[in-house]
Structure 1
Amino acid sequence: MSNSSGGTGSAGGGPTGDDILGAAEPAAGARRGRRSRVLVPATVAAVAAAGLIAVPVFAASSSLPSVTAQQLLAKVLSSHVQTFSGSVQTTVDLGIPSQVMSALPSAVAGASAGTGAGASAGQSKAAEQAVTALASGTHVLKVAADGPTRQLLSSSDAGATFTLAHDGSTAWVYDGQSGTATELTGLGANDAAAGSAARNAADPQQLAAQVLRALGPNTSVSVQGQSMVAGQSVYELSVKPKGAGSTIGEVRIAVDGANGMPLQVRVLPSDGSDPILDVGFTSVSFATPAASTFAFTPPSGTKVAHEAVPVRTAAPEHGQQHHALPKVGAGSDTTVLGSGWESVYVLNPGSQAKGGAGLSGELGAVKEFGKPVAGGALISTKLVNVLVTPNGTVYAGAVTPAVLEADAAGGR
């Protein structure tokens, strides 16, 4: 990170700026290929949907001390708020065609299937149901946490009624649409908490951490004033790509001025239209929630199943975490062009046979419903674009169609 800044903001909210480490633009033509994990069109959309978030709740300006972007980044990344409760509003406008949206449940289910020995069918189902439900529109969620072994995420919205309640070694997964509930028992310290993918999708704290830890030399960071979110004084942290090829124009993170916890995240498209993703607390308390908050009793008439989570004797080694997608290395059928905001995943035709009928069907849907362009068939959304060439090569990423078409034309 650069040690210089664009000035210190006033207490009234003047912007301050810092470029991230390296600062230089990548040289022209520096889109070098490397081997990476397999990424199929519907899974790209599912991963994008897991970054959900909502409408800002602004009020009068706050009067926090001035900070630089470097100081605010350090505050966020060192924040370890363990207890909170409140309501989160999420609004998602990915602009995903209906044909692709219909593929999200199977894509999420497939991704969840690889979460490792400590995961269960109930946990996978929880992620599938909750992420799919949150992938579009506006939803209001009740959230709570008391350390790593007690969490709650619930929604009573029409069309998205679910509850994920984790309390020590037990967790409940409830789906109001199907009237089913699964009790998971035997959760240990080394097990991922039930439904973590869904909770992270509605947790500004986790979303902001993912964004900030991925910062690199093609990113500019600045403090853009102060405001109020859910009754808390916050700094507005702006994270922007330096290049022009990404579909993302800016990520805005509202950071609690007292404890450094992100209270709201907005992902703004590069075309200046309405936010793609926007999640924010509408009310929040940092007091320890009552133990009863995490208790769950299935409603009368619910079909209940019980699952014991397999015992796992040790946590994965660093760098050996379970991934939904294959790891980078020899044998991968995917090449990554570029880096950072402008990464493009290239899925080679040979992987379609390995992927079986499911993958072939997804690619067929892109070809059938995609818009014909010079390079093939294009499915375009506000966040992720997917191009399938006539020979079956797939180019996908959070980049503009022009970037995909240029890469395809270059045969890279």
Structure 2
Amino acid sequence: MNADTQRRWLRWIPAAAVPAVVAVGLLASGATAGSPPPPATPEQVLALAAAHTARQFSGTMEQSSDLGLPSIPGQALGAAKGSASFGSEAALLELLTSAHTAKVYADGPARERVQVLDQLAERDAVRNGSDLWTYDSAAHAVTHATLPSTAAAAPPSAAAVSPDQLAQRLLAAAGPSTAVSLAQPATVAGHSAYTLVLTPKAAGALVASVRIAVEAQTGLPLAVDVYAKGQDAAAFHAAFTQLTLAAPDASVFAFTPPAGANVTQQQLPSATGQHRQATGQHAPAAGTSQGWDSIAVIPADKVPAGLKDQPLMKQLAVPAKGGRVISTSLFTLLLTDDGRVLAGAVPAAALEAAAAR
């Protein structure tokens, strides 16, 4: 876990509680998959997660959503996806509307692989040192980029969100306006885990609560469930279904483009842009607060060209005051007539009011 990520976890914890991570680790070391972890306080579990060093593992994870959007399977995206890029708008829409199973591998921050298993196909994102590869077997397309030596981690994949990545992003968006508690311990992928519950205090937020299963021995987040207000089932779910805490074989990270594949060389954004993307920084709209009810505003000149005219956007967006809006149980996206994009875990009316300021 890098320093920025650790600071995000630790800002939740009173200074006096940080040393308790040692006690939690000692207690948890006796836990097994068949027995629940010992009692702990929310502050102790946050400290355990903040200090987690599980950098070598392999496993299988599942991701699903119930956002009130129609399902758009990968096969239906076809030409809309256009490339093996996991960061495309079409890939993001697929993430939000379809269930996924993925195999994940990690051997430190510079060796990572995600294999998203589609029906009769697969998509891969591989980082091996300074080399970053993506591969889409359906399109038989490969992209390659060279990362700077100072890069802390590969750009996140929009096609699969690990529980650890998701937990980091949720905690980055939260703060003192969130109540933190513990629910009953759980067993996830054969590992005993504490259940951390985050409850936003902001009345205007669409998120009702977030549950994070934290591995009792290592502190690695194993599962994340995000619940929307007025909805019983989790609106977004990501969890390991199988997990081995050991270094994968080095061959897992060696990637050679398949014969005949269309290989595209990509230029990555600047280091500053990568840092902002990784840390979740955004510019809030005037008059809005940081936290669960914050609103991100993308100026018109920063919005990808032709975004509003994409068939998938036209399919999901409906007319709204000052533009078109995509509404889900967890977040709302407003594409204004003047070309801006506003987004947040708030109702459409909040975005419309922020756009009019």
Could you say whether these structures have the same fold, taking a TM-score greater than 0.5 normalized by the shorter chain as the test?
yes
Cα distance in 2, alignment partners of residues 155 and 389 from structure 1:
33
Shift of 1:294: 1.6
Aligned to 1:249: 208
| 1:335–1:345 CA contact under 8 A, matched in 2 | no
Which letter does structure 2 place at the counterpart of 1:358?
G
Q: Distance in 1 between matches of 2:275 and 2:307?
A: 25
The answer as to 2:161 corresponding to 1:161 is no
8 Å contact from structure 1 (residues 352, 359) kept in 2: no
**Quick check: which has more Rg, 1 or 2?**
1
> What SS is found at the alignment partner of 1:67?
coil
CA contact (8 A) 2:189 2:241 kept: yes
Residue 347 of structure 2 corresponds to residue 400 of structure 1:
yes
Deviations 1:199-223 (A, max 9, x none): 7942111221222244322101101
Q: Within 1, Cα distance between the matches of 2:262 and 2:294?
A: 43
Q: Which residue of 1 aligns with 2:326?
A: 379
Amino acid at match of 1:174: Y
What CA distance in whole angstroms lies between the structure 1 residues aligned with 2:274 and 2:98? Answer: 35
Quote how far apart the aligned CAs of 1:69 are. 0.5
For residue 337 of structure 1, the aligned residue among 272, 285, 288 is: 288
Instruction: Describe the shift of the 1:125–1:291 C-alpha distance in structure 2 as closer, same or farther (beyond 3 A).
Output: same
Task: Answer yes or no: is 1:271 the counterpart of 2:271.
Answer: no
Which is bigger in relative contact order (C-alpha 8 A, separation at least 6)? 1
Question: Partners in 2 of 1:358 and 1:316 — Cα distance?
Answer: 26
Correspondence for 2:149: 189
SS at match of 2:224: strand
User: Which whole-Å CA distance do the structure 2 matches of 1:64 and 1:71 have between them?
Assistant: 13
Alignment of 1:213-362 (within 5 A): 213-299=172-258, 301-305=259-263, 307=265, 316=271, 321=275, 323=277, 334-335=285-286, 337-345=288-296, 352=300, 358=306, 361=309
Q: Which amino acid aligns with 1:340?
A: G
Alignment of 1:48-87 (within 5 A): 62-87=35-60
Long gaps (5+) in structure 1 = 6-59, 110-121
How far did residue 357 of structure 1 move? 6.3
CA contact (8 A) 1:336 1:343 kept: no
Describe the shift of the 1:275–1:159 C-alpha distance in structure 2 as closer, same or farther (beyond 3 A). farther
Q: Distance in 2 between matches of 1:88 and 1:262?
A: 12
Displacement after TM superposition at 1:66 (Å): 0.9
- 1:157-193 per-residue CA deviation (whole Å, 9 max, x = no partner) reads 2176211222234343211111122444x54432365
TM-score by length of 2: 0.73
Output the CA distance in 2 between the equivalents of 1:264 and 1:394. 30
Q: Could you tell me how far apart the structure 1 residues matched to 2:275 and 2:80 are?
A: 20
- Residues 316/134 of structure 1: CA separation in 2 closer, same or farther (3 Å cut): closer
Q: CA deviation at 1:139?
A: 1.4
Match of 1:151 in 2: 112
Amino acid at match of 1:125: S
CA distance in 2, matches of 1:108, 1:338: 34
Residue of structure 2 equivalent to 1:35: none
Give the conservation status (yes or no) of the 8 Å contact 2:212–2:224: yes
Query: What's the offset of the Cα at 1:197?
Result: 1.5
Partner SS, residue 263 of structure 1:
strand
Answer whether contact 1:133 1:160 (CA < 8 A) is retained.
no
**Deviations 1:352-395, CA, capped at 9 Å, x for gaps:** 58869636658xx779952567x876432122224578888875
8 A Cα contact 2:333 2:341, kept in partner: yes
SS at match of 1:341: coil
d(CA) in 1 for partners of 2:137, 2:215: 34
Residues 91 and 277, structure 1, Cα contact 8 Å, conserved in 2: yes
Answer whether contact 1:161 1:175 (CA < 8 A) is retained.
Answer: yes
Identity percentage of aligned residues: 35
Answer yes or no: is the 8 Å Cα contact 2:86–2:159 preserved in 1: no
Deviation at 1:127, TM superposition (A): 2.7
- Match of 1:70, SS state, is helix
2:100–2:116 contact (8 Å) kept in structure 1: yes
Instruction: Decide whether aligned partners of structure 1 residues 372 and 75 sit closer, same or farther in structure 2, where only a CA change above 3 A counts.
Output: same
1:370 to 2:318 alignment: yes
Whole-angstrom CA distance in 2 between matches of 1:171 and 1:389: 35
1:248/1:346 Cα in 2 relative to 1: closer, same or farther (>3 Å)?
same
Contact 2:316 2:326 in 1 (8 A): no
Q: Corresponding residue for 1:48?
A: none
The amino acid that maps onto 1:267 is V
1:397 Cα offset (Å): 1.8
Q: Take 1:90 and 1:156, find their aligned partners in 2: how far apart are those partners?
A: 11
